[in-house]
Structures are given as C-alpha cells and as structure tokens.
C-alpha cells in the first residue's frame, strides 16, 4: 500500500486542501460500501498529506470491512503514531486485533484510552466489554485444559433426547441420512424452521467420525466423461446455496461437488447451510467434499456470528462440538492428480509438496504460520515474489511462486476461494491460479456476483457459471455476531 508515509518537511496548503477533498470523496464511497474505491482515495489523500492521522484511521476501517486485518492494523498504528490522543485510532486498532484473535492486545488499547481520558464513559464501557471477552476466553481455555480428555462427541447422550410429538420436521431413518431427509430438510429450512436437536447432534457426531478417518489432503478421481463442480465461500447465505443447487442440480453420485471452505459466519443462516452440507456429506461421502476454510475456526466463529447463531438456535455445547468437528475437515483436495484446491493459497516456502500437506496434523486450531495456516489464509498477488499478508495472517504469493509449486508437484493449476470477486471468480497467474467465490452480494452489501466452476475429468478445463443474489428473509448479516465487535467496526 504505497502511502509515502516517510515524507518529511512542510506540506503545502494546496496539498492539504487537495488531500481533504480526496478524503471527503473517499468518505462518500465508504458510505456507499464501495470500500476498494474508498481505500484508493484515502491512499491518494495520504500521498498528498501523510501527516494526517484521520486518513490512516479511515483507511483502517475500510480495510477492516474488506477483512484486510493486517493493513487495518498497520494503518491504525500509523494514525496513533501521528496523533497519540486520537481515540478513534485506538478503537480501530483494537478492532483489527480482535479480528485476528489478539484480544489482550485490544484490551491494552482500551486500557490506554481509559487512562488518558478517565472521564470518557464510552472508553470505559469498551474497556469493560473487552475485558469480559478476555476473561471469558481465559475461563474457556482453563476449562478445556481441565477437560482435555473429554470428547464432546462422546459425551452426547442421544438416547436421552426425545422427539416431541409436536415436531413435524424431517427425520433420520434408523439414524441415517437419506435423500428424502435432505430434500425435506432443505424445504423445512426455507420456511425458517429448525431441525430437531437430536438429529442435529447425530449428524455432527457421524460427520466427525467419518472425517477423523480421512487424510489432510483428499485425492479425488473424476472419470473422463464425468462432470465435477467446485464452489467457493457460502458464508451462511442459505438461499444462495439453494440457488446453486437450482442452477446446477442437487449433489448426487453423478453430480459430485466440492465446497471449498467458509460455509459459515457473516450470513445469518449458517446453521442451515452447514447442516445441509453435512447431510450431503453423509449421504454421498465419496461424491461430496468439503474443505476447511479460515472461518471454520474458533476465533472467527466467535467474532463473526456462527458461535452466536448455534448458541441461539441450539446450545453453546453444540457450538463447542462444531469446533471439534471443524478440526477434522480436510485442508485440501487434489483432482485427478492435476488440480489442487484449497481455501486460501500457497506457501511462504518453495519446497512444499503434496506429501507435506498429507502429513499435516490438522486436528487443532490453525497455528499463526506454517502449511496449515497458509492453506487457509494466503492470497495471490500480481507481483512476483512474496509479500506480508494484507490480512495479517498467511502470505501473499506471486505468479512465480505458483509456477514453482505447480512444477514441483506435477500440477496444472490451483483453485482457491477466500476473496470476494466482483464477477464471482478471477483468473490470475497466467490462468494457473483461479479464485472462486460463491456468496453473491456478500453480506448484503458488496454487490458482487457469485460463481461456481464446472469441469470434466478428461481435460479439467474450468467453466464458470455466475449468478446474482436471490431474496432471503429479513434477517441481517452478522445478526448473531459479537455485538461489541460490531459496535467497534461502525
């Protein structure tokens, strides 16, 4: 992000006025939720006047909205460096820290504001709320250490759960998912009804048992004349998921799918999405695949709504069970030995092989670096080489990195998701790195198309289908997200 921040010496009145004009234009784009345009103009304002803390703080919040947590953090820190008394910059930095799961560092920022402004009630309230979150997480960690040997899936007593007479929803047949069950479930969900907790728990326990036996890298064989579909992020947009099946047919043994992570969070129908997808996984285990995304993690679920949604629709115990299940999701899939599919991207080192991915011990929350982290978090960049991630986690990799990785592993190209694209997809790195994103009008604000990829087993040539968002019931995105975090990001 070029910003000429190191410029010293006086800035002309002309540049100051031009910068303010650019900032005002950027603010208008921000209000329209056109965050990329806003960032471009804030950056131009910074070039004209790199000594104005407001420009950096404003660019920070725009980057937060785009989930560029690393950039948001550095911008907020620069704003603080320029103006130590600028309260809003501390709040921006705290929001960036929280987005990255660094709650104690966020608390330090709030603590500083309360010290320098002891009569500021807003600062006091934010400090108190953040402190509650830090204490709650510490408490949860202490309990999990005490209960290290307790496996939630094993502790669920399904026999003790009764199906009430008034429940008229879909039912498992002899405890098994059938096509009848899934089709009824999808219709039931469209009417905003809730699957019985006994069936919900059974699905989670069975999915976990299946996933535990799978490697971290799944090899998929697609026959020459067969079709295969890859979908990107769904993010709790259930009605758009239903539209994909409308456009491309329901999953079946002759219509296999791979969903490439980020099934939940942000959208407020995440429970409906994940139980539909897990049901198909149990119904067609060898023709329906799911990769872990960076949002199938505890910190993301805590901030962006999934934990809140599960706790609201079911229980916090079920939310903990989801965390257990997500830890076993595969990290990547390889189609016919020629196309590698992962949620995020490639690696900070050139020597990574498919065997290295196969050997990853994935039953955990992703670490802050290494193969597992980069598979979930990295992004491509147009420039050669590598750069620190705009997200603050993973890395950014150029076309040369992609080429080296493909040659080393005998692959044709990679498919990844993880980033909103206006057309629902993007072809980069000379056609060798493809992004697919399947949540149209992401968060009801971005105005993007969604897309999915179809290919046949013979040539594996990617074909793109794009589509617009469909109407959904009046439940706003992030309805179940941490309310304190939502407040910080306003």
Just list the catalytic residues: 295
DSSP 8-state secondary structure symbol assigned to residue 286: T
Using the structure block, give the residue that is written with the tokens 């699905």. 203
Helix (H, G, I), strand (E, B) or coil at 308: helix
Among left, alpha and beta (phi > 0; psi -120 to 50; other), residue 150 is beta
Are residues 334 and 354 in contact, defined by beta-carbon separation less than 8 angstroms?
yes
Among left, alpha and beta (phi > 0; psi -120 to 50; other), residue 431 is left
CA distances from 157 to 152, 188, 197, 343 (A): 10, 25, 12, 34
Signed CA dihedral, 399, 456, 243, 275: sign only: negative
Using the structure block, give the residue that is written with the tokens 């920070």. 60
Using the structure block, give the residue that is written with the tokens 């995020």. 344
Query: Encoding tokens for residue 264?
Result: 């939940």
Are residues 442 and 470 in contact, defined by beta-carbon separation less than 8 angstroms?
no
Signed CA dihedral, 30, 33, 34, 36: sign only: positive
CA separation for the pair 365, 135 (Å, rounded): 20
Helix (H, G, I), strand (E, B) or coil at 340: strand
Helix (H, G, I), strand (E, B) or coil at 259: strand
Burial (CB < 10 A; 0-12, 13-18, 19+), residue 27, is middle
- 197-210 burial, b if ≥16 CB within 10 A, otherwise e? bbbbbbbbbbbbee
């Amino acid at each position: 992000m070029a910003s000429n921040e190191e410029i010293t010496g006086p800035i002309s009145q002309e540049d100051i006025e031009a910068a303010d004009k650019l900032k005002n234009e950027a603010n208008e784009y921000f209000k329209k939720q056109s965050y990329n345009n806003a960032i471009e103009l804030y950056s131009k304002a910074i070039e004209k006047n790199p000594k104005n803390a407001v420009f950096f703080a404003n660019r920070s919040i725009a980057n937060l909205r785009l989930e560029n947590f690393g950039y948001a953090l550095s911008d907020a820190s620069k704003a603080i460096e320029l103006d130590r008394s600028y309260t809003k910059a501390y709040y921006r930095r705290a929001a960036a820290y929280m987005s990255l799961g660094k709650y104690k560092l966020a608390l330090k920022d709030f603590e500083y504001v309360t010290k320098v402004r002891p009569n500021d009630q807003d600062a006091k309230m934010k400090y108190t709320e953040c402190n509650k979150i830090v204490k709650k997480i510490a408490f949860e960690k202490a309990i999990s250490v005490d209960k290290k040997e307790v496996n939630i899936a094993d502790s669920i007593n399904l026999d003790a759960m009764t199906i009430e007479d008034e429940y008229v929803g879909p039912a498992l047949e002899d405890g098994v998912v059938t096509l009848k069950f899934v089709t009824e479930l999808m219709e039931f969900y469209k009417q905003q009804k809730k699957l019985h907790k006994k069936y919900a728990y059974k699905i989670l326990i069975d999915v976990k048992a299946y996933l535990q036996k799978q490697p971290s890298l799944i090899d998929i064989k697609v026959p020459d004349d067969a079709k295969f579909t890859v979908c990107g992020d769904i993010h709790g947009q259930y009605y758009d998921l239903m539209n994909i099946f409308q456009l491309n047919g329901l999953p079946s043994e002759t219509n296999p799918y791979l969903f490439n992570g980020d099934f939940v969070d942000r959208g407020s129908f995440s429970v409906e999405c994940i139980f539909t997808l897990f049901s198909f996984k149990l119904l067609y285990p060898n023709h329906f695949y799911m990769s872990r995304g960076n949002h199938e993690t505890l910190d993301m679920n805590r901030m962006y709504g999934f934990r809140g949604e599960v706790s609201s629709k079911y229980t916090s115990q079920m939310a903990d069970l989801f965390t257990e299940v997500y830890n076993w999701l595969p990290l990547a899939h390889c189609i016919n030995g020629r196309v590698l599919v992962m949620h995020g991207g490639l690696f900070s080192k050139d020597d990574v092989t498919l065997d290295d991915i196969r050997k990853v011990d994935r039953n955990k929350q992703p670490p802050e670096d290494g193969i597992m982290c980069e598979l979930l978090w990295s992004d491509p960049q147009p420039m050669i080489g590598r750069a620190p991630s705009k997200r603050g986690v993973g890395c950014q990799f150029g076309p040369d990195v992609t080429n080296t990785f493909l040659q080393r592993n005998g692959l044709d190209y990679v498919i990844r998701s993880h980033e909103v694209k206006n057309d629902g997809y993007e072809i980069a790195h000379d056609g060798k790195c493809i992004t697919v994103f399947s949540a149209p009008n992401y968060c009801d604000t971005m105005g993007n198309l969604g897309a999915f990829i179809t290919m046949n087993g013979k040539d594996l040539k990617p074909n793109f289908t794009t589509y617009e968002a469909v109407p959904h019931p009046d439940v706003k995105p992030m309805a179940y997200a941490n309310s304190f975090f939502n407040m910080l990001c306003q």
